[in-house]
A = this chain, B = another copy of it.
Amino acid sequence: MAELSERSGLPVPTIKYYLREGLIPPGDAVGATRARYGEAHLRRLRLVRALVDVAQLRLDVVRSVLDGIDNARTRHDAVGAAHMRLSRTDGEPASHESLRAVDEMLNRFGWTLAPDSANRTALARALDAIAGLGFPVGPDLLDAYANAMRGAAVVELNRVDLAEDRETAVEHAVIGTLLLEPVLLAVRRIAEVNVSRERTARERAAR
Contacts and interface: CB of A to CB of B under 8 A. Distances in A.
Interface residues of A, number: 75
Contacts of A112: 194
A104 interface: no
Contacts of A50: 129-130, 132-133
A188 B184 contact: yes
B126 A182 contact: yes
A133 B130 CA distance: 34
Interface string A181-205: 1111111111111111001000000
Number of copies: 2
B129 A187 contact: no
B147 A151 contact: yes
Contacts of A154: 144, 195
Interface string A17-31: 000000000000000
Contacts of A130: 50, 54, 175, 179-180, 183
13 contacts: A46-B133, A109-B194, A111-B191, A123-B183, A129-B179, A133-B175, A137-B183, A142-B183, A145-B183, A148-B151, A149-B184, A153-B196, A156-B192
Interface of A: 43, 46-47, 50, 53-54, 56, 58, 76, 79, 83, 87, 91, 105-106, 109, 111-113, 119-120, 122-123, 125-127, 129-130, 132-133, 135, 137, 140-142, 144-159, 171-172, 175-177, 179-196, 199
Given A83-B193, A105-B187, 17 more contacts: A79-B196, A87-B189, A109-B194, A113-B190, A119-B186, A122-B182, A133-B175, A133-B179, A141-B156, A142-B183, A148-B151, A149-B184, A149-B191, A150-B195, A152-B188, A154-B195, A185-B185
